[in-house]
Amino acid sequence: MRTVRALSSALLTLGLAAAPAAADASPSPSQDSSAAPTRAGTSFRTATEIEQGQRATASGSTGDYLYWSFPADTGQRPTVRATVKLPDTHAAQTWQIDVYDGLRRRQACQYGAQTRTAAADASSVDLTCVLRTVRAWSEPWANDPLPGTYYIRLTATGVATADLGLPVDTEVRADSKDMGGAAAVDGSLSEPLVPGIATKPEDQRENAAVLADLEPEDGWASGWWSDRWVWTGVGGVLAALAGVAGYALTRGAGRPSRVPPSA
């Protein structure tokens, strides 16, 4: 029994130590704010690349489409935030932030203020979009978010004609929360959905402009490993130990003696 209790304690300690390690796998904010982009693209093809945790700024005009892109990997739940600083004088304006995956499919926001209307006296408007957890694999007919490049599009959807072309300053940031093995699925993509992933090696120099340079800090996940394997293994060992302990407690002192009791 002492051996059983010692093994159980050691395995529980191992399991508890594995959970924080998985939680710390999410990207950390970029420390080099001086390298943050100060411009935005005008289309999917010219979207400005940003890292997760990096604050990007850009100046534009009311009515423009502003694009950024960032990498998101398996098991991450991205959150995109945008702030638009409005001119001193303007009418009521409605701004919207949309997020698209590597196949340029618009991804629905789980929650957050994706569209907001700024009053005429408002100095800024804040937008938030929390996406669903990125899956390692999905059915072809499904619209699940998959690992790869994600595109952010920021624009004004409801603007008075007199306000079109007024200067605005924007700020965008993308972060992710690591959801761990609870969000893991069987299967994986052969390659992440990033621009230029299908380009042949000999054609890379000619098509260098379409290749995505950014990827997660630890590289793209293979898709098969998650911390649920640790918890499954620990659970199986604990179940076996519980069976051994239960047998030891219920078997009694051994076989009864065959010697008849003395009269």
Q: Tens-digit pLDDT profile for the chain (263 aa)?
A: 444 444 444 444 444 444 443 333 344 444 444 578 999 999 999 999 999 999 999 999 999 999 999 999 988 999 999 999 999 999 999 999 999 999 999 999 999 999 999 999 899 999 999 999 998 887 878 888 999 999 999 999 988 899 999 999 999 999 999 887 666 666 667 678 888 776 655 555 454 445 566 777 767 775 455 666 676 788 888 999 898 888 888 876 666 666 666 65
Residue 25 placed within a domain = no
Determine the residue type at 45.
R
CA-to-CA separations, 76 to 35, 161, 173, 215, in angstroms, rounded = 24, 40, 15, 13
Non-local CB neighbours of 50 within 8 Å, separated by 6+ positions: 36, 37, 56, 68, 69, 70, 172, 174, 214
Contacts of 142 (CB under 8 A, 6+ apart): none
Look at the chain and report how many structural domains it folds into. Answer: 1
Residue 80, in any domain of the structure: yes
Among the listed residues 110, 28, 75, 72, the one whose alpha carbon sits nearest the alpha carbon of residue 180: 75
Which pLDDT does position 257 carry in this prediction? 63
> Which pLDDT score is estimated for 126?
96
Q: Is residue 200 included in any domain, yes or no? A: yes
Q: How many residues does the chain have?
A: 263
* Cβ–Cβ under 8 Å, residues 107 and 72: no
> Which DSSP state fits 111?
B
* Interhelix angle 228-250/2-23, nearest 10 degrees: 160
- Is residue 134 in some structural domain? yes
Q: Give me the domain span that covers residue 109.
A: 48-219
Q: Is residue 179 part of a domain?
A: yes
3 state SS of 210: helix
CATH number reported for the structural domain that contains residue 154 in this entry: 2.60.120.1310
Whether 206 maps to a domain, the answer reads: yes
The answer to whether position 5 is within a domain reads no
Within a domain: residue 62? yes
Tell how strand 124-130 and strand 167-178 pair up.
unpaired
Q: What is the reported pLDDT for 193?
A: 83
Q: Are 214 and 51 in contact (CB under 8 A)?
A: yes
